[in-house]
């Protein structure tokens, strides 16, 4: 049996950072990973570029049952500390639109390889392909190729999102065995489903719009960005952004819809005025051609079909018809009836109840010496680097808590 100061389960974003920080602090560390290589979500992140954090960090960007934990984390780990950790390893950064921070290489592979290089350099014992783990209080960790004893145990197994990249629920099970409550995970940062005909009819069409999420008819949040119509419903960055609120609402049995504003640079009054100014009864174009010059022609046709104006021409435009058209173009509603499964989710809502861990040290309140970091906890961030921030910051906090004891 080999003895360690700390054993970390899960060699993903948070597990690797915790291992490096502890080993740099002089601790003997082992890292146990289920897959043949850790960090697969890092590799797939940010379209292969790894959106590592965000220049603007606020508690509003996180969704947690334990806001005190978020506030403590933001206080102790401002962005400068995360940057300092990675700069010390040798990483450089570049920030792009919306304050999103990337490695200067714009390559997720460079981040993973850097972390792996440090893990090797620091002599951290790594065990890959471990699927038969049993953990007993003490802590005694047993699997086919090893029997380890650890003073501290860190659970960094991530969430069940994206199973194709290693997401699974074994971490929840380990936490349960230590007496922890797990809030049922739900997919988040995920496309939404709809049975609206327009989605199927125009599948593949991508538009730049402002989206409003309506829950039981009331606007909850709005986002500007890409909307992609698909066979199953809606996707695109703006949809992922509103998906956290949509999934929460749908899971609690509420009715959801999205209202799409195709002309968000003008308010309703200005838009109506603009439409009126474009009417030319002499020219008398078919409406589908006329609207098709300011909106994607395929969408223009669908909207005119809905208004039963498909065959009408400009001369048919009465003031109430124009008003109806303006209303629909600035608030086209699509009912949402669900969300795509975990396979399509970037993160999972839910996880280990963060109220059952000490908000300062991230140590379990149920089991001394047991720590949690990363997405295994019931906390997620918005799209834009907030989930990696949470993984890095919780890992550094766990390492500090252990180094301080």
Ligand X SMILES: Cc1cc2nc3c(=O)[nH]c(=O)nc-3n(C[C@H](O)[C@H](O)[C@H](O)COP(=O)(O)OP(=O)(O)OC[C@H]3O[C@@H](n4cnc5c(N)ncnc54)[C@H](O)[C@@H]3O)c2cc1C
Contacts with ligand X by CB under 6 A lie at 9-15, 32-35, 38, 40-41, 44-46, 50-51, 130, 133, 156-158, 161-162, 165-166, 168, 170-171, 346-347, 374-376, 385-388, 391
Please report how close the Cβ of residue 301 comes to ligand X at its closest, in angstroms. Answer: 34
Smaller CB distance to ligand X: residue 44 or 220? 44
Of the pair 157, 243, the CB lying nearest ligand X is at 157
Beta partners for 226? 208
Of 261, 250, 260, residue with least CA distance to 216: 250
Closest CB 372 distance from ligand X, rounded Å: 9
Query: Toward ligand X, which CB reaches closer, 36 or 265?
Result: 36
Q: How far is the CB of 358 from ligand X (least distance, A)?
A: 18
Cβ atoms < 10 Å from Cβ of 267: 12
Nearest distance from C-beta of residue 365 to ligand X, angstroms: 20
Q: Cα 284 from chain centroid?
A: 48
Instruction: Report the candidate in 97, 98, 178, 95 with the shortest Cα–Cα distance to residue 136.
Output: 178
Joined tokens for residue 87: 């700069």
Chain residue at closest Cβ approach to ligand X: 12
**Per-residue b/e over 274-297, b at no fewer than 16 CB within 10 Å?**
ebeeeeeeeeeebbbebbbeebee
CB of 219 to ligand X, least distance (A): 27
12/225 with CB nearer ligand X: 12
CA dist list (Å): 312 to 5, 291, 294: 77, 11, 17
End-to-end Cα separation, the chain, in angstroms? 24
Shortest Cβ distance from residue 100 to ligand X (Å)? Answer: 8
Give the largest CA-CA distance in the chain: 90
Nearer to ligand X, 35 or 248 (CB): 35
User: For residues 159 and 257, which CB has a smaller minimum distance to ligand X in the complex?
Assistant: 159
């Amino acid at each position: 049996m080999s003895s360690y100061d700390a054993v970390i389960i899960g060699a993903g974003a948070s597990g690797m950072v915790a291992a490096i920080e502890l080993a740099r602090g002089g601790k003997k560390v082992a890292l146990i990973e289920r897959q043949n290589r850790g960090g697969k979500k890092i590799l797939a992140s940010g379209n292969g570029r790894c959106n590592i954090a965000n220049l603007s960090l606020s508690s509003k960007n996180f969704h947690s049952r334990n806001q005190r934990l978020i506030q403590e984390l933001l206080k102790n780990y401002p962005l400068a500390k995360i940057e300092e950790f990675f700069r010390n390893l040798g990483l450089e950064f570049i920030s792009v639109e919306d304050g999103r921070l990337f490695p200067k290489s714009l390559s997720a592979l460079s981040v993973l390889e850097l972390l792996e290089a440090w893990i090797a350099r620091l002599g951290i014992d790594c065990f890959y392909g471990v699927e038969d783990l049993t953990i007993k209080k003490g802590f005694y960790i047993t699997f086919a190729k090893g029997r380890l004893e650890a003073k501290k145990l860190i659970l960094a197994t991530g969430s069940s999102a994206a199973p194709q990249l290693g997401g699974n629920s074994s971490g929840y099970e380990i936490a349960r065995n230590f007496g922890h409550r797990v809030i049922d995970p739900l997919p988040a940062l995920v496309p939404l489903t709809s049975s609206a005909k327009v989605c199927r009819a125009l599948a593949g069409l991508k538009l730049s719009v402002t989206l409003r999420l309506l829950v039981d008819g009331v606007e909850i949040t709005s986002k500007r960005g890409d909307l992609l119509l698909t066979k199953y419903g809606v996707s695109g960055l703006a949809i992922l952004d509103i998906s956290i609120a949509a999934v929460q609402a749908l899971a609690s049995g509420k009715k959801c819809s999205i209202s799409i504003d195709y002309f968000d640079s003008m308010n309703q009054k200005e838009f109506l005025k603009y439409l009126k100014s474009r009417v030319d009864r002499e020219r008398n174009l078919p409406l589908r051609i006329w609207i098709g010059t300011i909106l994607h022609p395929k969408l223009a046709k669908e909207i005119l079909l809905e208004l039963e104006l498909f065959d009408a021409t400009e001369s048919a435009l009465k003031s109430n018809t124009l008003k109806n058209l303006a209303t629909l173009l600035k608030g086209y509603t699509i009912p949402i009836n669900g969300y795509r499964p975990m396979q399509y989710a970037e993160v999972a809502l839910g996880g280990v109840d963060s109220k059952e861990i000490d908000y300062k040290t991230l140590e379990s309140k149920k089991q001394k010496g047991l720590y949690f970091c990363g997405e295994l906890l019931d906390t997620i961030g918005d799209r834009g680097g907030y989930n990696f921030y949470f993984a890095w910051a919780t890992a550094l906090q766990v390492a500090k808590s252990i180094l301080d004891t």
